Structure 1
């Protein structure tokens, strides 16, 4: 039997293995890159361009991350367009400015006034990228020569907003439509309106040319019209196709056999409309070839607003009204990639899968989003009918649960082989919004939910025939007098903790739902409760800005951690319960060490309240989700920083030894340069002193300092500023100052970022040294006079 001494040694060794965290750094950020408006694709298909406030983001189609941006410094963008040759991008802003950007250098090459009296809402290039048309909400259309940089035409005739513009692929004609649902045709040679095409009874959203003599138009009147432009007087469509949904965008698929002379030529096109279904149509027959196929019917409740054909011609990108990007294969009719442009408020987030490869995210939406951390691709899980508020993951990392405003809880399963997700059980019983959820920690046998109806429900999970899972209520507890914000299950699955707006945290038994303790002490509502994974301790965070640690044996408050200035919304234990991280409505993430009760690090990356955080199983990564629509993945950089610090110390020791060797060899020139690089002011002072003691020392010092670059002179001036404060070192300081001022142009000194500070620090001490030297000169003159008198008296 091991002795007490051996037990203590074992405990000591295990504690030594715990490496406390000192800092986390941002590894990856899932930030919003699309809030509605124009979208585009570069000619190689490597980047998708999206509008987000005052920026146009270039999103990498492989990683899903916004790598570049065209910023307009607070001036919101109304629309943008990429030239057909892909060399430039033109953006229009609310301040009625047009900007031309050079891509991919991300360089603004030209800015000019749009001349319109209202914001520009649509832009269109011709096929040669030399002409640009701008349509405004003031009903005017202007054509710009991009080479000579002036406005060539100003067209009127559209009442209200100009909804779409399109140049003819061959003729110098411009087609446009607006609020009167009439398609206008302007001839750029004569600068006149040469035609009006009336057929639509609602806003026209699409103008497309499958060929030179065919025009396809679509709009919100649920029909597609085909026009034969070869007719001398084209006023009525030759074919009208009812589509039974409002059309927002249309893509004509490339076809080699298309004829320019007949509208009966065979060509296919895709439509994107309000029903959220990508439909494929045959132009000659007007029949729908495919609709609602797998992957083509991506959204049931959100329609499509844009559709773009990828440069390869076999894939399309469809944008939904809730800012999601679906990349769809035209032939196989499958969505092979999905990106989220805007998450709205992030309410909860958890790691999922072996190795924490996925992130489950609950946003201000009925859909659960599962992000692949490596590729940023997203899976949308449908099931809830209202906003999902909380999620939690079981220990096996294959099942997770969710709760929602629709008063239900759901159990989900991930297939590890295919990475597909499915809802396997639904729990009903709450009468109000289910705000919080917690899964058991050991075997997957139960989960707990807390609701606005003031009750806790313990749900039994049982597997039936054919692996069917049943979800039933084991018991219901009337737990609090106000909303239950948080629930947690103890590591041994014996206790449940609940935190409520009534300022109380309570403990309950899982088996019979009996209350075993009430924790009082918070002055405002409790937002989060968490059990320590190792000790018999419960942590709670509150709107009073404090974090409290409670003993589970006597329910007393062990510690109170104060550091947040506002509500602490979430907390999590890390490093086996020795540390915890917390986040608040101030947008700050704080790292605490429980033993010392100190905040080791405060991290600021979010611009709004952080609703949620979670730590990985090994505590090496943390994810935070905020109301600013961003999800930040943090990685532990403690060991990395220690290694860097060790390397710096090692390098510093080696350089210091080299400096000592130079001093030993009396190589003062290199020694002074090395002391400046190491920023050793005292060593540099000794070197300067030794140089000045040499014959012709001032000339040697002048030669050495004169060859230094401006950065090293700047460091040397900071040394002089320190030396000059001591009268013992004033001679060396003034000598160096003399050389620096005589060998450096005044403008270079003025351009130093702290030049004013240096001058203000040098002046008073220099004046004091000058006055002291003046007094010494006067005293020496008096001594010389006295000595001369003494000599005269001796001679007499």
Structure 2
């Protein structure tokens, strides 16, 4: 028979003399350390400081274009390849690990408006100001051989953009009309119009491959279904939308880059208001692209900066800029979720890390364990004022800093004016309008 009893040894808690120190019972389990929270706080503080010390996102740049970069497109099957087009109609295929141009060719006379890969990556489709659609081989030609288009289609209307279906041999162009084309035909199989002068950007949904969206010159966003005979829905905003990107993991969500310095994330099932407004840019947002995980996206603006946003948050988590980088025209997030490409009008394509302080290359098991531990510590103490201040602080150019201060003053004055009008008006005559609904004019079906 086993009997358990409590036993207390007086030597563990009694002093031998009056001058002796009090003995404190102590559990040596590291999880029950008496200073566990202060110790972890200091570790979190050191981790967030080291993150800012090692935050060097710029990797390199791709030189060679003789005019500004108008568009960048990722290869759907190869991580190491991207294609870019410029204002003078030249197309270049790049090898990213070598940071070198594989081959280049003159695709159009004048501005190259749009470029996209075939879904299998074997062909490249371009549109330009010369009213032609051209298909090119995406692989480099033999040494000394000229690059000739596989097919050339003459269009009756101006072309401003192109997007390829992710599953079918079908692509769409926009301009005066939204047109759907097959590779085997030189005439469009569908044409859509909804009373607007021109459409300047177009994008197929990566999951629901029959859906596509366009942006029009009348500040509207139009949804189409290629199985239908006409456009589905139309949303008019207060200012023009420059580009649209679909969320690759949530096919009903898309994000728009707008002229009013903001980005708007919409659920296409409920278009009467965006479910998130993404602020922080200080000039018109030109381009946007989602990460392959769908949790983040990158935007480029006329304020000469790139910002990275978390899809569910209204403010950017990081900003990238250099002294020589000018106005952004296109951005792309690599399919391995590690790099960001940006093209600007001073003829360079820059390569950035998606996470500024991330170590490139293979991580040893101890490094990976330490990195995961530091990430959990930063998440645990993220709300602490000192750690939050260090994690959020970014050094920005002087023109962005001054513009941010000016916009803050303008917004505060607008809020004060609205509050005073409401206080001195008849109750209910000046209603409260949320920031999400302020920028929507109307919705049509």
**TM-score with structure 2 setting the length:** 0.49
**Which has the bigger relative contact order, CA under 8 A and spacing at least 6?**
2
Q: TM-score if structure 1 supplies the norm length?
A: 0.29
Indicate the structure (1 or 2) with the bigger Cα radius of gyration.
1
